Chain A
Amino acid sequence: MKLEDPSSKLVSPNPRNSLKLSFCSSIVNYTSEMLGFSAFLSLALGAQAAFETPVRARTTYSVKESHSVPSKWSQIGRVDPSHMLHLQIGLKQGNFDELERRLFEGTSLHDLVRSI
């Protein structure tokens, strides 16, 4: 994925955490806005000690999602364990309802029907 927008470059996790992390990490010297790849990697080594709560799984795993394989697809084998994946993790959005409200703001059914 080519990231052309500089704002989507590798960045530090939320600043609050970074500060906490920097406090416990003696591995690397950095300023929170200037994290590079390697600095971030080293930093993470010290990360586990930084959280106020124990890092080991706080709760047990349970199935988040099941989805039947569509009928035109069949399972034909296992995957090489070293095969690389680009996983995209969608975090719950903070205020989507407000975004939807702003999208529809002031629209009436009358506006829509009239233009058909």
Chain B
Amino acid sequence: MRLSLPCAVSNPEHNRYGQHLSFEEVNDLVKPTDETLDLVHEWLFANGVSLFDYSPAKDWINIYIDVESAERLLDTEYSLYQHEDGSTLVRTSEWSLPLHLHDRIDTIQPTTTFMRTTPQNTDYKHLQTPWMPPKYQPPTDETIAKVCEFFPVTITCFRTLYGTIDYVPKVPGLNKIGFNNFLNETPIRPDIHLFLENYRSEAAEQAWTFKSVEIADGPPASYANLTTEQLANALGREANLDAQTVLGMTYPALVYSYSTGGSPPSNPDSETTPNTNEPYLVYVNYILSQSILPQVISNSYGDDEQTVPKSYAQRVCQSFAQLGARGTTFLVSSGDSGLGDENPTNCITNDGKNSSTFLPEFPASCPYVTTVGATEQFEPEVAAWRPDGIGPDGEDHGYFASGSGFSYYFERPWYQDGVVDVYVENLKGLYAGFYNTSMHSIFPFVTQNLQIRRW
């Protein structure tokens, strides 16, 4: 691990280290003005909406209403949309507000957000033997060479490579780490136990004891093995990968698994009704309402930035700043598709012009998170990449490249000045027009060797 959040309070050598803002201080800073609250209440009451609840800072109001009423409230029309993979959402492409509320309300969701919380682990998971880069050289450092090979990279290799192998925790029992699950993903405890017994035996018992937190009817971590059908549907694949790595790396830190469901709370027949929730926002508002937070939260789910409107991206990003101010580092995967998509015909803008573009990922593009990219090899570690085609196991595998690029929504933060200028200069105009160099650059801050094996 090389770099923490761009934040003095997170820098151990800085005199403000550890002086984070409290839950109350953050809420006080972000709470809306009384005038904003008055005007929004007035509008809701006038439209017959009289039951609602608030986030602790009152910067979010939750209401539960039927589609017909929502359509009147927002002068819009909801439709059922289907993704090419078959999944459906209830969304709209446009909504309205009385003019005097345009500056009082930043966003209302679900409306125009088409983000899918897609797990970022591509199909490396299918590989029994990896695609080996032709010029790969095994490590020459004796200590590393003893425990690290190209594939699989084990927990012991990670801990040696990143220097935590002999670390003695100074405050055992106080440090906490969380990881997020969406799309009904949940960790499978027996699998995790098996993994830990093999790769970090001292942590094995934690497979049964780590805390499972369910949000919006998300599934709890499973004590039972997967059924054949669940296995075929790859249930728990991403969640297991995350749980095994987190538990294996951070023992004896306390581990929290957050599973956010996809169904709206008041809909009993959710088997047949489409998913109308916006799980990311539900999760973010849940975590911000907690008075005690893990010091680190890892999130391996994201989507193309342009699948969400700018207003939504900005508010979710501001929520991550609130976590940061409270001392929580939010780790986000940089993506699995390099600068865009495995299929170049998908690399087009979403503004109706269909211009060619690279595709940055959200929330990786938010300047308040710590983006984690994938590396492979050891001396040096390089950005992970694999061509598509038939792998050594005889099966067809997709393209993989660790995500990067430039945001279209977030301006370049001050801490990237200089570094990014040099980088852009060295590009010498390569692929100019496919990205905006004045914006936030998704340079993975921390990298993690990708060639791991999952159970």
A residues whose Cβ falls under 8 Å from a Cβ of B: 1-5, 7-11, 13-14, 16-17, 37, 40-41, 43-45, 47-48, 51, 53, 55-96, 98-100, 102-107, 109, 111-113, 115-116
Contacts and interface: CB of A to CB of B under 8 A. Distances in A.
A51 B104 contact: no
Interface string B65-91: 111101100010011111111001111
A69 B114 contact: yes
Interface residues of B, number: 125
A70 B414 CA distance: 31
Given A9-B53, A72-B83, A111-B8, A64 B105 contact: yes
A74 B59 CA distance: 32
Contacts of B34: 14, 16
Interface of B is mostly: mixed
A99 B16 CA distance: 15
Chain B CB within 10 A, most for which of A90, A94, A109: A90
Contacts of B36: 91-92, 94
14 contacts: A1-B265, A14-B58, A17-B41, A40-B51, A61-B96, A61-B97, A67-B94, A79-B90, A84-B264, A88-B60, A88-B285, A92-B33, A92-B103, A96-B321
Nearest to A37: B51
A94 B29 contact: yes
Interface string B213-234: 0111000000000000000000
Nearest to B88: A76
B429 interface: no
A14 to B, nearest CB: 5
Contact of B289 (A7, A16, A64): A7
Contacts of B21: 99, 102
Given A60-B98, A111-B13, A87 B291 contact: no
Given A5-B291, A84-B66, A90-B106, 9 more contacts: A14-B37, A47-B50, A48-B46, A65-B111, A65-B112, A82-B67, A86-B110, A88-B108, A115-B4
